A = this chain, B = another copy of it.
Amino acid sequence: MLIAKHQNIIDNAVKANHERTFYAQYPEHPKAYGEEAPPQGEATFKDMLNKPFSLLKQKVTEGWAGEEVSPYTREPLGITYPVIAVDELVKAGKRAGSRWAQLSVADRASILTETLEKIKDHFFTIAHATMHTTGQSFMMSFQASGPHANDRALEAIAMGYQQLQHFPEQQTWEKPMGKISIKLEKTFKAIPRGLGLVIGCSTFPVWNSLPGMYADLITGNAVIVKPHPKAVLPIAIVVAAIQQVLEENGQDPYTCQLAADSSEHLVTKELCEHPEIALIDYTGGSSFGNYVESLKNKTVFTEKAGVNSVILDSVKDIDAVLNNLAFSVSLYSGQMCTAPQNFFIPESGVNTPNGKLSFNEVATKFKDAIVALVNNPKMGAGTLGAVQNDDTVQRVKDAQHIGGKVLLSGAPVANEEFTGARTFSPTVLEVSSADTGIFEKELFGPVVLLVKTKDTDHSIQLARQMAISHGAITCGAYTTDDTVKEKIADAMNSAFTPVSFNFTGFIWVNQHAAFSDFHVTGGNPAGNASFTNPEFIVKRFVWVGNRTYVD
């Protein structure tokens, strides 16, 4: 029944995955969800504050913990989550997984699609939860943790649905041998690798976790979700919704478990190193990511840090370009893994239809565009959102003293709705192309480095080297010259980095659309996996074929 109900959604998603045209199962505009949903969602969120989170179906074994603080109010959310011993999580996950693996692919796909429909009912609650844990603006919180995350999850379901049916379940094999023949009945099964672990981050607790969770689940693996202790609520609501749908459909809710912990007693390594954990999805800093990648006998999917570049060669409309880039660096205060950091600009300047614009002119215009955006009362606070934690603020403050010429000093920006919000506008530094010690690091947060290069070839060379040595998730490039365009594409693609050319208007390099853009390529140090290419799915199960001799 559930299969019939959702077959259309799944078929459309499989088609969209292949074609890579624009597709969205879950509209990104809040108005698409009715007038009642926003106030209801906010009320539900407020009602969750200052009490234990009670929606999970998991049995508490060790007590309760919670330490979330809103970057907007700087006040604790006061919510606690059940803390469960690692061995209990693993035992329950193994038991649930062995049952989940027995289901047909079609059954799993339909139940998982039903979970997305259930999560949809919580989009506005999740939006407030995301806002008050990550510091994202309300609109970004809604879109990234709501429709965009659900679309990424559906993308993973669809890719799994297809890959798991790559080979027939059974087949007769008959080999002619002259006058006789040999006949075998064969079966082909996609056996799940084992128990999955998804490790979340504090800035995108839902968007970055759902692809791995749904990739594990569609391929028949149970999953344990280990959120960042400072950003639990958004994914806790998601896990609770999944558990509810599992139970409603006669499945074991422990197929998807939440593993809340505390900064005082993190369980991430204990989980990672547990012999029963076969699959690990990780989003976060490179240091822990490298540890995860080094684990033996685990299949690991990582998204770590990178340094994203913009190459400025020639433009049609410099103001349109710099307004676009000013938004890109300001959006969520540069706390997106896709935000550009290093801007490579030739010392001779940038070509425009009205002649060369010098390096300094470009730098000044860029600075001005950022200042205009962040000081625009209708735009500034909403674009910047809040900074997730004090470490990031400190890093941005420190950035003013790491060398280079400070063109613009970041500073707090007033937020009318939340006067106590932790805000910080972008800092812009000019550095020389010799200052690799400065621009080869990811300076997570609102820090922009303008790197003066000899020429565009030099810009390309540096951007490529950064991607190879330190990783890159995005690269923006501006050129009106097709030869240069091809050169940039070839150079960056050879470093497994995608390029976005000449973005202006309402589209930004930071955005990766489900069903069309691969998020992270998996080919450079920024991460070894990609949302959602076939590799993201096929590594989670093993094809095994049995043969029976037929007399």
**Partner-B contacts on A (CB < 8 A):** 18-22, 163, 166-168, 171-177, 180, 182, 184, 186-189, 191, 193, 294, 296, 316, 485, 489, 493-494, 496-507, 513, 516-518, 521-523, 530, 533-535, 538-539, 542-549, 551
Contacts and interface: CB of A to CB of B under 8 A. Distances in A.
Given A186-B20, A534-B538, A493 B174 contact: no
Closest 5 CB pairs of A and B: A523-B542, A501-B548, A535-B538, A502-B549, A500-B547
A177 B171 CA distance: 48
B173 A493 contact: no
Given A493-B189, A530-B543, A507 B549 contact: yes
14 contacts: A18-B168, A21-B172, A21-B174, A184-B507, A191-B496, A191-B523, A294-B296, A485-B548, A489-B546, A493-B544, A499-B547, A500-B549, A523-B542, A538-B538
Contact of A496 (B500, B517, B544): B544
Copies of the chain in the assembly: 2
Given A22-B175, A182-B505, A538 B533 contact: yes
A197 to B, nearest CB: 18
Contacts of A547: 498-501, 503, 517
A546 B501 contact: yes
A173 to B, nearest CB: 5
Contacts of A517: 186, 545, 547
A542 B498 contact: no
Contacts of A176: 22
A173 B513 contact: yes
Contacts of A539: 535
A504 B547 CA distance: 12
Given A493-B191, A494-B191, A534-B166, A500 B546 contact: yes
Contacts of A518: 543-545
Of A176, A485, A501, the most chain B CB neighbours within 10 A belong to A501
B167 A18 contact: yes
